[in-house]
Amino acid sequence: QQQVKQSPQSLIVQKGGIPIINCAYENTAFDYFPWYQQFPGKGPALLIAIRPDVSEKKEGRFTISFNKSAKQFSLHIMDSQPGDSATYFCAASSGSNYQLIWGAGTKLIIKP
Amino acid sequence: DAGVIQSPRHEVTEMGQEVTLRCKPISGHDYLFWYRQTMMRGLELLIYFNNNVPIDDSGMPEDRFSAKMPNASFSTLKIQPSEPRDSAVYFCASRGQGISGYEQFFGPGTRLTVL
């Protein structure tokens, strides 16, 4: 019930392509869905987040798509660049619990 | 703001030794989280504090692990005695209220190697 399932585990995309990372959840009480980006040797950092009252949110080249009925959300990276190579984590939280429930992470490599 | 500060950045110790990891959260933040990251298990929440009080320590793997937050600007995670399977990167994160909402700000981590 508390899990967030993330796929794929790893992803290789050519520069300019659109990598898509997917996450699914079961707990309908979740009301906050962030994506974190982690570079080697660094801690994760918030990239973009969405609440379930909207179906899509864009910040620069990064877009979250949210499907409340399917209990799924995904991260799209437009015009991907080698500098986007990192590990991406989805997460979820509910207002009653300040913990983030984390996905397993996706290692993304953007080839030049 | 300097962000979340962790020390040491790297720690190499021998099995059976005591290890103490330190964290200074962002000033004004009232939540502090300790995580462990490994290739096998990903990012695991060990314990979190609210206003210096431990709220949930269900992620602490064993009694060998303990965490304290004596004041709003300092927390420690202690492992005694350490074992090779404790080798991991340990992150501290903090969050506050207001505009940043639920965002957790992570420190650079402490890479622990237990030989």
On chain B, the residues whose CB falls within 8 A of the CB of A92 are none
* Contact (CB<8Å) A105/B42: yes
Of B86, B7, B73, the residue nearest B40 (C-alpha): B86
Q: Which helix (H) or strand (E) covers residue A89, if one does?
A: strand A86-94
Give residue for tokens 């500060």.
B5
* Contact (CB<8Å) A49/B108: no
Choice between B2 and B14, residue whose per-residue pLDDT is larger: B14
Would you say A32 and A15 are in contact if contact means Cβ atoms under 8 Å apart? no
Which residues of chain B have a Cβ shorter than 8 Å from any chain A Cβ?
4, 31, 42-43, 45, 48, 50, 56, 91, 93, 95, 101-109
On chain A, the residues whose CB falls within 8 A of the CB of B105 are 45-46
Pick among A39, A101, A102 to test the B interface (most B CBs inside 10 A): A102
pLDDT in tens, B45-60: 999 999 999 999 999 9
Task: Give A60→chain B minimum CA distance, Å.
Answer: 19
Task: Say whether pLDDT at A97 is over 70.
Answer: no
**The residue count for chain B:** 115
DSSP label of A103: P
Q: Count Cβ neighbours within 10 Å for each residue of B31-48 and write b for 16 or more, e otherwise.
A: bbbbbbbeeeebbebbbb
Q: How far apart are CA B60 and CA B14, in angstroms?
A: 21
Task: Say whether pLDDT at A50 is over 70.
Answer: yes
* Contact (CB<8Å) A43/B103: no
If you count residue pairs, one on A and one on B, with CB atoms under 8 Å apart, how many are there?
A: 45
The neighbour count for residue A74, using CB atoms within 10 Å, is 18
pLDDT in tens, A28-42: 989 899 999 999 999
Q: Give the per-residue pLDDT at B96.
A: 82
Task: Say whether pLDDT at B97 is over 80.
Answer: no
Q: Give the per-residue pLDDT at A96.
A: 58
How much is the average pLDDT of A86-109?
A: 89
Would you say A88 and A105 are in contact if contact means Cβ atoms under 8 Å apart? yes
* Contact (CB<8Å) A46/B95: no
Nearest-CB residue to B106 (from A34, A43, A99): A43
How much is the average pLDDT of B66-78?
A: 97
Q: How far apart are CA A87 and CA A83, in angstroms?
A: 12
On chain B, the residues whose CB falls within 8 A of the CB of A100 are 45, 102, 104
On chain B, the residues whose CB falls within 8 A of the CB of A52 are none
**Over pLDDT 90: what percentage of chain B?**
83
Nearest-CB residue to B108 (from A42, A102, A104): A42
Q: How far apart are CA A67 and CA A72, in angstroms?
A: 5
